[in-house]
Amino acid sequence: MNILVADDDKVVLRSCTRVLEAEGHRVFPAINALKALEILESQSLDLALVDMVMPQYNGTYLIEECRKKWPHLPILVMSGYPTPETISSGIRAGASRFLAKPFTPDELLEAVDKALEGPREEQGDGDETGFGDR
């Protein structure tokens, strides 16, 4: 799978890249929303992992732009601020899953697998938001 990881934290980018590549995924890291949009324009992607809090253009902006051009791309939101406001902002913008930072490699892989499966409401497990267990 081709996965975009958009986060302004270089440690998060390196960690996600290392974990996902070890599982056979091809990772496209982006240090900000504008770089992420460049990658989205030039690559065929299966999933986007988007940090909600980034300078200049935040995750909400990036998700909204993704939804305009790639409405079916699964988007997994990451944030170190898992407040109700952050989660609802991700939902309104069009994200399908949420992953709270910090997370373990296993939590990342589980969230990626679930995001690639599709929205939870289609699976009938009763989670109306489509967001993960955290």
Mean pLDDT by 10 residues, the chain (134 residues): 97 97 98 97 97 93 95 94 85 89 96 82 36 40
| Topology adopted by domain 2-123 | Rossmann fold (3.40.50)
pTM for this predicted structure: 0.86
Res 34: pLDDT: 97
The per-residue DSSP string of 35-90 comes to HHHHHHHHS--SEEEEES--SSS-HHHHHHHHHHH-TT--EEEEES---HHHHHHH
* pLDDT, position 88: 86
Six token digits for residue 57: 């253009």
Contact 74, 46 (CB under 8 A): yes
| Cα separation, 129 vs 134, whole angstroms | 12
The pLDDT value given to residue 96: 86
**Domain residue spans in the chain?**
2-123
3-state secondary structure of 115: helix
